[in-house]
Structure formats: C-alpha cells, structure tokens
Amino acid sequence: MAYKTDLDKLRHSCSHVMAQAVQELWPQTKVTIGPAIENGFYYDFDRKEPFTENDLVKIEKVMRKIIERKSKFSQYFMSREEAIALFGKQNEPYKIELIEGLADQEVSFFKTGEEWFDLCKGPHIDNVGQIKAFKLLSVAGSYWRGDEHRPMLQRIYGTAFFTQEELDSYLKMLKEAGQRDHRKLGPQLDLFDFYHETAGAGLVFYHPSGAMLRKTIEDYLREQHLKHDYQMVMTPHILKGKLWEISGHAEHYKENMYYFDVDEEKFAVKPMNCPGHILIYKSKLRSYNNLPIRYFELGSVYRREKVGVLHGLLRVRGFTQDDAHIFCRQDQIEFEVCQVIKFALEVMKDFGFPVVGRDIHFELSTRPDDYMGSLPQWETATQALESSLKNTQLPYAINEGDGAFYGPKIDVKLKDALGRQWQCATIQCDFSLPQRFGLSYVNSQGKEEQPIMIHRAILGSIERFIGMLVEHYGGAFPVWLAPIQALIVPIAAQHHAYALFVKDDLQKGGVRVIIDQRNESLGKRIREGTIKKIPYLLIVGDNEAKEGTVAVRRYGQGDQGVCPLAAFVAKIREEICLRQS
C-alpha cells in the first residue's frame, strides 16, 4: 500500500511500533498486516489469549519506550526464498502466505533500528521519535483476509496525530460518535435490527418506526425525481445469468453475486440495477431528440460482502439504491451532470447537511491506464465533468487515473455534525455498457449512434444514508423525518376524549401522532417520550380540554408553553413542509 500523506506514513509507522511492542510483550504472537486506515491504523495479530483493555495500556507503555529510542526506519531487500525461510524460522505463517502471493522476486522489508523488522513496502517516517501523539483504541475480531473460513485474528485499532491537541479533539469526537453509533441507537430507538444468527449477516429488518423513516425518505426521493424530470421504472430482483454475462458482471463481479438455478437455468439476484434499465431503453427505437432519457428506481440489490467487512447499516449485503441511469448524447453530458450536482446539493440541504465551502468535497476521477472507449470520448466526458464542477464554484480535487476502466466519475463527500466525512453522491460516465448491450439512437443525419450512459445515485445506499442520518442527528430527527412527530399525553383517564380529538386534528393535517394513554404516571410517560426523541410532546388536561389548547414540550428545548390547537397544527405543518432541521 502506498501512503500518500505524511499522516498516513506516521500512522502506519505507529502500527509497526505497536506490533513490535506486542511481540516484545508476548513473543509467541504471530503478526499479519498493519495498514494505515482513515483516522488511524490497525494491526491484526494471531494470539490465543484475547487482548484486554489492560493489555492495551501495557502495549502503549512499551510503545512509549520504543519511541524514546528514536530508532530510524530503514528499508532493505531479500529474495523471496530467503524471506520465506526467515519467516519459517520465526514461525510466522501469515507472512509466508503474503510473500507467496507477491509477484516480485525481491521482497521489501522495513526495520526499526536493529530491533524489529516487518515485511513492508513502506513508505515510513524517518524515525520512531517523530511519533508524538498516539492512542490505542479498541480490539475487535477479524478474519484473516476478511474470509470467515480462515482463522479469527485479533485486530488492535489505534490512531496517531502530529500533535497532542489534534489527538485530544479526535478522542473527544470519538466519544461523541460512540454515543451516536447507529448500531446502538437503531435498536434503542426501535428503528431497525439485524438477526444475524437467525436470518443471515448483513441483512436489515426495519421495525415500524424505521420503516416509517425509510418511507418518508423514499416518498421524498420519488417526488423530487419526478420534479427533476426523471421517469420511474421498476425492474425484477432476479435476472438470467446470460444477462450478467453480457453486462460483464459474470466476469468481473461474480464473487459478489448470489447465483442459483431455476429449471436448469442460471439466475442471479441483481447486484446492480443498470442492466434492467438498459433493457427498457432497448425496448424502443430511440431518436436524438428523445434524449436524454432519465430512468429512476429505488432499486434493491444484493451483494455478497465478506462477513468481516459488514458494519451495521454502513456495509450490508442487501440494500436499496436511489439509482438512476441517464442515456444521453455526448453533447448533453455536461448539462446533465450539472443538473445532477445541483440536484444532489438540494437533497443534502433538505436533509440538513451543510453544502457550502469546506463541508462538501468533490472528487473527479480520470482515465486509468487500462481504459476502454476512445481517447476523444474520454476527453469530452472528462472535460464535461470538470466544467460541471467548475460551474458549482465549489472546490474539487482530481484523482488522476483513478476512474473506472469504463468512464470518468465524480464523487461527492459531505461532513456530518461531528465533522466526519461521508461518501454520498456518485456520477459515473459509462462507455462500456452501451457498447456491450448494443445501445443506439438515430442521430440527426438518420444514422445510428451509441448513447452515453450516466449512472448516478444521490444518497447512494438508503441503508447507509439512514445510518449516517441517525449519527448526524444522534437519533433526534427533524420533524419532517421523525417517525413519530408528536406524542399526546393525557394527564388522566378523563382527558382521553380530548386527546383523541387532538389526535384527529393532527392526523387530518398529515401529522404522524400517537397517544400514550397507559395507566402510568405523567412523569414516566413524558420521560419515555423524551427517550424516544419524539420532537413534540403534547400534554392535555382539564385546562387544555376546556380551552382547546395543548401544552407543548419540544425535544431538546423543553417546555414551550400552552398553544391553541389550531395554531399548533399550523406550526408543525409548516415545519414539516419546510423540512426545518
């Protein structure tokens, strides 16, 4: 792995120091790999006894001693055979397997002073003394090479920064993020759960509140796509194996697909929606003045991810994309991409994410070495993408050569309430699928020409987006998204009739509302409504019933006083319509 930034080099170097410390403390421990990752680093170890919290403290202490020695990192090389023999002597089977998987005859090593060495291509910082601020964070199980059939290893996560201040503020953010973790909040707020053991890993079950949240998001998406001149389509979840051969997925994506036989014919569950949309495009003769055609689908797809990489809603095996494919002429790419970017920014703003300045980040990935399509095609498309980005007047980065083999793309990343960056929209040009499926349109000269296909998603995976929303808001959603928008709490049994009247008025206004008329104390019912983070609690008793009012409590803001019912309905409706955060 080539590390591009100094921070990555620092963190990866810290992972060497950690592995060295672990082997100094427990020499029997076998080492595997230890890359820098976003926000830190890890190292995977094979050790019988589990690492405890206390062990992490011990490791940190030894790491500090190693760092004090200020030993230099230096690179050296060995032949494959020598390297395999060396690790054989040291009883490091994982390292041997890694070397066996390398194509090179010469194997690169990095040593720390004369104390410790690791199979590694680097790069590293100059010496360990440059590690000024680090912290070991957690231990998790991980499978060797992410494969559930291989041995279970122990992964120690840590992080490092150039200064103590940066480390401190990161740890503070991490604590807050822990409290907002959607894997914790999801079940706690009764939104969703996973029944890993019974139903399978990486498959989401939406409970009523979660399903309501998702419905709200989906309704919003449908409405917005229609407003932006997309046409809705729906395509089957299973498609013939032959279709996946034409699309190239059978060749390039097979490991991630679920195949099965029907009447002796191969079928696969769709991992992507593109081929379905292509078949609809192909159903008619298309002319230049029919283009662009924009098909939108809330398309559910299944991808066989390794169990080791599954992570709450962020990485699952079944998810739904807000997926669209735009079939257009070459001269329409720029306009279409501009529209998609504008659309994406509007959507993000509606969901309460900041879409200005440094909070939003665009990346343009350009032509790789092994590209398909013609050079002029790539140039036109890449230029079109870049001018669309310039048009937004927002900053963007170019990832030279990082595009897919079939076309350049734009990724949009945004920051949440804790300043963490999330990938959301992608806009991808494709010269390959139109060719594989023989797509065409009749141009103005009456000749057949191949359209360009643009794949685009704004939220990406709805599952992932919900995970991100839960963490962004810490589960306290804006009123328009909240599964239950108002909870009516009648003070005593004699106020039930008025509570029903209030509920009826709110429901007629399109508000999602329930009554808590359990025979529990008022205090307890208010507390429980607050724990569920329901935006509005409406308490009704004698006075409210007599005067036609409600006593309003707003989540996070407390008592808002008494308000005439009609005025409250108008206010909450306005908040919903304006999607106020």
Provide the annotated active-site residues: 274, 303, 321, 323, 325, 409, 455
Which uninterrupted H or E stretch holds 160?
strand 152-161
Residue 158's closest CA among 140, 145, 141?
140
Q: At 519, which amino acid appears? A: N
Rounded CA separation 487/506 (Å) = 11
**Shortest separation between residue 498's beta carbon and Zn ion, angstroms:** 53
**Shortest separation between residue 273's beta carbon and Zn ion, angstroms:** 6
Residue 329's closest CA among 291, 293, 296?
291
- Bridge partner list, 486: 513, 536
Q: Residue 13 or residue 142: which is nearer to Zn ion going by CB?
A: 13
Please give, one letter per residue, the 3-state secondary structure of 88-100. Answer: HHCCCHHHHHHHH
**Alpha helix segments (H runs only) across 228-253:** 241-247, 249-252
**Shortest separation between residue 389's beta carbon and Zn ion, angstroms:** 21
Q: Residue 454 or residue 511: which is nearer to Zn ion going by CB?
A: 454
Angle, helices 333-350 vs 375-392, to 10°: value is: 40
How many CB atoms sit inside 10 A of residue 450's CB?
A: 17
Indicate the SS3 state at residue 264. Answer: coil
Do residues 545 and 518 lie in contact, with contact meaning Cβ atoms separated by under 8 Å?
no
Q: Residue 429 or residue 513: which is nearer to Zn ion going by CB?
A: 429
What tokens appear for 283 in the block? 């159903």
Q: Residue 119 or residue 364: which is nearer to Zn ion going by CB?
A: 119
Provide the strand spans (E) within 337-436: 360-365, 396-399, 409-415, 421-430
Residue 345's closest CA among 298, 412, 429, 419?
412
Q: In which order are the strands placed within the sheet that holds 116-119?
A: 73-79, 106-112, 116-119
- Bridge partner list, 362: 396, 412
Do residues 389 and 362 lie in contact, with contact meaning Cβ atoms separated by under 8 Å?
yes
Q: Residue 69 or residue 358: which is nearer to Zn ion going by CB?
A: 69
**Shortest separation between residue 90's beta carbon and Zn ion, angstroms:** 17
**Shortest separation between residue 99's beta carbon and Zn ion, angstroms:** 15
**Shortest separation between residue 96's beta carbon and Zn ion, angstroms:** 18
Q: Residue 301 or residue 470: which is nearer to Zn ion going by CB?
A: 301
Q: Residue 110 or residue 396: which is nearer to Zn ion going by CB?
A: 110
Which residues sit at the interface with Zn ion, rule CB under 5 A? 110, 120, 274, 455
Indicate the SS3 state at residue 373. Answer: coil
End-to-end CA distance of the chain: 41
**Shortest separation between residue 275's beta carbon and Zn ion, angstroms:** 9
**Shortest separation between residue 12's beta carbon and Zn ion, angstroms:** 5
Angle, helices 53-68 vs 6-25, to 10°: value is: 110
β-strand pairing of 441-442 with 396-399: unpaired
Which uninterrupted H or E stretch holds 61?
helix 53-68
Q: Residue 117 or residue 501: which is nearer to Zn ion going by CB?
A: 117
